[in-house]
Every structure is written in structure tokens, then in C-alpha cells.
Amino acid sequence: MYELYYYPGNASITPHVLLEEIGAPFQLHLVERARNEQKSVAYKKLNPRGLIPVLVDGDTVLYETAAICLYLSDKHPDAALAPPCGTAERGHFYKWLMFLANTVHPDTLIYFYPERYTLEATGDVGVGAIKDAVEERLTEMFQFIDAQLVKGGPYLMGEQVSLADHYLLMLARWGRNMKTPPRDMRHLRRNVELMLARPAVQRALATEGLSAPIF
């Protein structure tokens, strides 16, 4: 049985949804961020960096959201969370997943925690400037995704949903309070609405107690 260490609305939401999609037995372990349990000695034995999520599969312990997602996808090919290996479609799938995980996701961390990326001496002015700049970058990224969905859509891989769309759902949800939120972008909004309608997504959101506005 899989074990997923999570916190509601955290990056753990994507592997949580994938476990629901796969239908394999799994157990959730809540990591109380309010008490900094992710920094505890016990938790750091699972993830030395003290970050959420962690997936445990027998003797295999994984962290990094994208790595967990790919692991689950490869272990359960019948769930069709990604195109077959060695195909051109798989290459495009990697392109989207890496763009989301390596480009968009890091900027969301700067958006939510700008104080981590400036010198203390700059004060609130420096923090505010960083947040404003990264919000502009994120808006451009979401607009780029929206434009690409126009060409193929409604999913990142065209007509076939993949775990990349689940990853996008997480990131788009995190952008709901931006000045230009992803929901204001027509094709991206359609993508997210289709994802939110999936039973696996609804089950994970309900389990984590995430209420409206979701997006």
C-alpha cells in the first residue's frame, strides 16, 4: 500500500489526485505545517529537505512532486497518465511536465515566499518588488499555456488528459488570487474546469477539505 505524506492544498495534492485516478490502495499521513512537523527529525528521515510531499512504496521513499508523479505513472501504465515511453507524444509530455515543474512551479514559490529571495535589509519594499515582478512572469507563463491550448486542447496533450494537466491544475489553483488569475484565461479555464469535474479530483479535494473558491 502506498503512503502519502501531505498537507491540504500543498504540492501533495497532485500525487494525491493521481492515487485516486490509479485506484490503488493508499494511506494518507497529514503533516501539520502549523507545528512545522515537516522539519521534525522523524520527517527528515523521509525527506532530508523537510518538504512536502513524500511517497512511501515499501522500501522506496520518494520526494519531489514531479518525480512522485512520474513514478506512479510508470508503475500504473493502465491508468494512462502519460503517453507510452519512446513515442513522440511522450517527448511532448516531458516538455510540458518539465516546463510546469521546473519553470512555473519555482516562480510560484517566489510569489508566495518573496522574503526568502531578498536581503533582510531591503525590507518590505524589496519583498513587494520581487512579488510584483514574479507575478508578471507567472501571468505571462499562464498566458503562454492558454495560447498553446488554443492550438490543440482542451488538454496539454490535445484530446488526452495526462498527469501534466493535474500538475497544471495545482499551479492554476495557486494563482487564483493573482491580479490576472488563470481563470480569466478562456482556454486555461476550460482545461481546469474539465479537470475539476473528474471524480478523482473531486474525491481528493473533499478528503483534503478544500472548499470554494477552488480556482
Reported as a single tens digit per residue, the pLDDT across 184-210 is 999 999 999 999 999 999 999 999 999
pLDDT at 120 over 80: no
SS3 49: coil
Question: pTM, whole model, 2 decimals?
Answer: 0.95
Residues of the chain with pLDDT > 90, as a percent, come to 88
Do 2-79 and 88-198 share a fold?
no
What residue ranges do the domains of the chain occupy? 2-79, 88-198
Looking at domain 2-79, its CATH superfamily turns out to be Glutaredoxin (3.40.30.10)
Task: Please tell me the predicted confidence (pLDDT) of residue 115.
Answer: 87
Task: Please tell me the predicted confidence (pLDDT) of residue 123.
Answer: 58
Go through the chain and tell me how many residues it has.
215
Task: Please tell me the predicted confidence (pLDDT) of residue 122.
Answer: 56
CB 27 within 8 Å of CB 57: no
DSSP H helices in the chain = 13-22, 41-44, 65-75, 88-99, 105-112, 123-151, 163-174, 186-196, 199-207
Non-local CB neighbours of 74 within 8 Å, separated by 6+ positions: 82, 85
Residues of the chain with pLDDT > 70, as a percent, come to 97
Mean of per-residue pLDDT scores for the chain: 94
Beta pairing class for 26-30 and 60-63: unpaired
Angle at 105 between CA 177 and CA 173, to 5 degrees: 35
Region 140-161: mean pLDDT is 94
DSSP H helices in 76-122 = 88-99, 105-112
Q: Look at 148 and 122; give whichever has higher pLDDT.
A: 148
Indicate the pLDDT class of residue 38, thresholds 50, 70 and 90.
very high
Non-local CB neighbours of 1 within 8 Å, separated by 6+ positions: 24, 25, 26, 27
- Give tens-digit pLDDT for 45-59: 999 999 999 999 999
For 37, the enclosing helix (H) or strand (E) is: none
Q: 88-198 has which fold?
A: Glutathione S-transferase Yfyf (Class Pi); Chain A, domain 2 (1.20.1050)
